[in-house]
Amino acid sequence: MASMLQPQIILLKEGTDTSQGKAQLVSNINACTAVADVVRTTLGPRGMDKLIHDDKGNVTISNDGATIMKLLDIVHPAAKILVDIAKSQDSEVGDGTTTVVLLAGEFLKEAKPFVEDGVHPQNLIRSYRTACNLAIVKIKELAVSIEGKSLEEKKSLLAKCAATTLSSKLIGGEKEFFASMVVDAVIAIGSEDRLNMIGIKKVPGGNMRDSFLVNGVAFKKTFSYAGFEQQPKKFTNPRILLLNIELELKSEKENAEIRLSDPSQYQSIVDAEWNIIYDKLDKCVKSGAKVVLSRLAIGDLATQYFADRDIFCAGRVAEEDLNRVAAATGGTIQTSVNNIIDEVLGTCEVFEEKQVGNERFNIFSGCPSGRTATIVLRGGADQFIEEAERSLHDAIMIVRRALKNSTVVAGGGAIDMEISRYLRQHARTIAGKSQLFINSYAKALEVIPRQLCDNAGFDATDVLNKLRHKHALPSGEGAPYGVDINTGGIADSFANFVWEPSVVKINAINAATEAACLILSVDETVKNPKSESAQGEAAASAMGGRGRGGGFPGRGRGMRRR
């Protein structure tokens, strides 16, 4: 009898937690749905904000999906995938982070009943991928190009895209004011790809309308020495010298030893040090520069020396700001003051030091290369300004994307309803189970207009029925109709200038489908216990270093204590 029993094979280490099968898949879906529920209410112009405070006491108020997902300390391994897609959407297109999490959650929610009924996840994945490809093709068909327009027309079209993004943010009340500012900033940097060429400086105080755009660079007054106040604070067409060297007397860094036989020789050593710095300062003056900026310190001797010669200087300028000044003024950062030629000096129309709130700002405007811009943000509370900065980041990204991929689609849930209708129609032409799966994918897309209604306090069922009716018209005239947030009915989103770049929608649907398919393809979770060595170390630290192999650096378990 004993010989008939199969020997038990121990494969995984004792303490390993494994869960698999349908129950595990359903559990993962539930976790992802719970994450989507957290950000659900932040969608749209009437979305609510989330207040998150961490164990350090830092408080963040935001309705930006990526920011919320980043700050939530999610421990569920499957739900972390939603954090990743929010981050990828943020880095790729900048906006639509809440949309992508919501769509992924809804795709999984629609797949759940099929999984519970015993449908193989691979069938669902195949259908979802087909539906995703069809949806993207349809978006490209519906997209309207803004190419070939004049600059003024383009500006107004891009401002509409920026306003649509900002309408769902905390600064939505001033969206027109900020939208034109964002468009001017993005057009100022032109084809420059680096986003850090648009600087955002925050100054508490005043109201939002006191915010302004500098067509160049602005940064806070740096630490200054005696003599600084005697320097001129305004120049027209100055030459600008950018340095990465210290201009101050320094004590010897190395332990140098000098033996003197005669006390008078000591003076010659001191004089040599002074001559070195005077030589450097003299070369800066001879270069013809009227503004000298350095990433390293400019000491009190140099400050007074420049003040006597009507030259402005600022030391310890942040590297990011110095790089932006270099890009804007056409200057080059020097690591030596020897042989300063005209080509390495920058220039701008006006340099001035201005008071902004209780801060003083050095402002370089009218820069020749025009490859940089700075937005100075004002507002009451620090939290408010922080959120305004996040909102402007989204709007800047959107305008950049719209400039590069110059096609836009109707917002307000219009594009989602149109794709949903198209996929339902397509599903009717398919025989077999995949008809049901594509139908459920189409139904999931309706979550965007439904959530827009819920967040605004409208009757979602009523509005969705009106939208379905409008989109089903055979003439196709209902395609641009979406939710009208102001009246609680439906309206032509395109005519109302509620636009978003098509790349945002394409990326969101792609990423959400990818995440849903990834989660559906997982059927087992294995949680490894802590490795023995880690347990040994934990035990050793608990025993005050007397544990096996712990507490004594360099002594392993196999070493004898002598």
Q: What is the pLDDT of residue 540?
A: 45
Angstrom distance (rounded) from CA 472 to CA 454: 23
Handedness of CA 406, 412, 413, 419 (dihedral sign): negative
**Residue 110 covered by a domain:** yes
Q: Residue 105: which pLDDT band, with cuts at 50, 70 and 90?
A: very high
Identify the top-confidence range among 17-21, 288-292, 524-528: 288-292
Residue 541 has pLDDT above 80, yes or no: no
CA angle (444 as vertex; 478, 409 as ends), nearest 5 = 40
Section 404-418 average pLDDT: 84
Q: For residue 78, what are its two tokens?
A: 């499957």
Q: Does residue 546 carry a pLDDT above 70?
A: no
Judged against a pLDDT cut of 90, whether residue 16 lies above it is answered with: no
| Predicted local distance difference test score (pLDDT) of residue 13 | 61
pLDDT band, very low/low/confident/very high, at 104 (cuts 50, 70, 90): very high
Same domain as 166, residue 302: no
CA–CA dist 181, 159 (Å, integer): 9
Q: List Cα–Cα distances, 151 to 177, 197, 366, 403, in angstroms.
A: 19, 21, 20, 11
* Mean pLDDT, residues 420-424 taken together: 91
pLDDT, tens digit (0-9, with 9 covering 90-100), for 210-247: 888 888 888 888 887 777 777 778 888 888 888 888 88
Rounded distance, CA 411 to CA 402, Å? Answer: 14
Regarding whether 342 and 225 lie in a shared domain, the answer is yes
CATH code: domain of residue 351: 3.50.7.10
Ramachandran region, residue 74 (left: φ > 0; alpha: ψ -120 to 50; beta: rest): beta
Q: Are residues 223 and 315 in the same domain?
A: yes
Q: What is the C-alpha to C-alpha distance for residues 508 and 101, in angstroms, rounded to an integer?
A: 9
Q: Which residues contact 497 (CB under 8 A, 6 or more apart)?
A: 160, 163, 164
Closest CA to 293 of 374, 355, 348, 214: 348
Task: For 165-174, write each residue's pLDDT tens digit.
Answer: 777 777 777 7
Kindly indicate the confidence band of residue 136, based on its pLDDT and cuts at 50, 70 and 90.
Answer: very high
Q: Where residue 164 sits, what CATH number does that domain have?
A: 3.30.260.10
Query: Is the Cα dihedral 393, 399, 403, 407 positive or negative?
Result: positive
Position 539 scores a pLDDT of 44
Number of separate domains in the chain:
3
- Indicate whether 311 and 234 sit together in one domain: yes
Q: What is the pLDDT of residue 128?
A: 92
Which of 369, 394, 428 terminates a domain? The answer is 369
The pLDDT-based confidence of 21 (bands split at 50, 70, 90) is confident
Q: Cα(82)–Cα(543) distance, rounded to whole angstroms?
A: 41
CATH number of the structural domain spanning residue 68: 1.10.560.10
d(CA 446, CA 409): 16
289 vs 12, more confident: 289
Give the pLDDT score at 253.
Answer: 53
- 137/160 same-domain check: no
Same domain, 231 and 354: yes
Give the end of a domain, one of 387, 405, 423: 405
Q: In this structure, what token pair is assigned to residue 153?
A: 């027309």
Six-digit token string for 38: 């957290």
Q: Which of 42-56, 294-308, 439-453, 531-545 has the lowest mean pLDDT?
A: 531-545
Indicate whether 451 and 516 sit together in one domain.
yes
Q: Chain-wide mean pLDDT for the chain?
A: 80
11 domain-assigned: no
Answer for the pair 127, 434: CB distance below 8 angstroms, yes or no.
yes
pLDDT at residue number 148 = 67
pLDDT in tens, 362-396: 888 877 776 788 888 888 778 788 888 888 888 88
Higher-pLDDT residue of 204 and 6 is 204
Of the listed 33, 64, 374, 454, which one is catalytic?
A: 64
Q: Work out the percent of the chain whose per-residue pLDDT is above 90.
A: 10
**Amino acid 439: pLDDT:** 92
Mean pLDDT, rounded, for 303-329: 85
Catalytic entry in 98, 222, 303, 372: 98
Catalytic residue among 33, 42, 97, 164: 97
- Is 283 in the same domain as 334? yes
pLDDT at 49: 83
The pLDDT value recorded for residue 8 is: 60
Domain span holding position 114:
17-145+413-521
| Amino acid letter, residue 169 | K
pLDDT above 70 (res 204)? yes
Q: Is 543 among the domain residues?
A: no
What is residue 384's three-state secondary structure? helix
Catalytic pick among 95, 321, 394, 416 = 394
Q: Is 97 annotated as catalytic?
A: yes
Q: Is the pLDDT of residue 535 over 60?
A: no
Q: Do 106 and 76 belong to one domain?
A: yes
Q: Give the tens place of pLDDT for each residue, 26-81.
A: 888 898 899 888 888 888 788 888 888 888 888 888 877 788 888 888 888 888 88
Over residues 143-202, the pLDDT tens digits come to 888 776 777 777 777 887 788 777 777 777 778 888 888 888 888 777 666 677 788 888
- The pLDDT, as a whole number, for residue 14 is 59
Concerning whether 484 is annotated as a catalytic residue, the answer is no
33 and 158 co-located in one domain: no
Q: Is residue 544 part of a domain?
A: no
- Tens of pLDDT, residue by residue over 504-523, are 899 999 999 999 999 988 88
Backbone dihedral angles phi then psi of residue 236, each to the nearest 5 degrees: -110, 130
The token duo for 286 is: 């001879």
Whether residue 526 is contained in a domain is answered as no
Known active-site residue 64 = yes
Q: Does 221 lie in the same domain as 210?
A: no
Provide the 10 A C-beta neighbour count for residue 544.
9
Catalytic status, residue 282: no
Radius of gyration of the chain (CA): 31
Residues 509, 478, single domain; the answer is: yes
pLDDT higher at 322 or 555: 322
Residue 425 lies in a domain: yes
With respect to residue 10, please indicate whether it lies within any of the assigned structural domains.
Answer: no
Assess whether pLDDT exceeds 90 at residue 132: yes
Task: Answer whether residue 125 is part of any domain.
Answer: yes
Q: What are the backbone dihedrals phi and psi of residue 260, each rounded to the nearest 5 degrees, phi first?
A: -110, 140
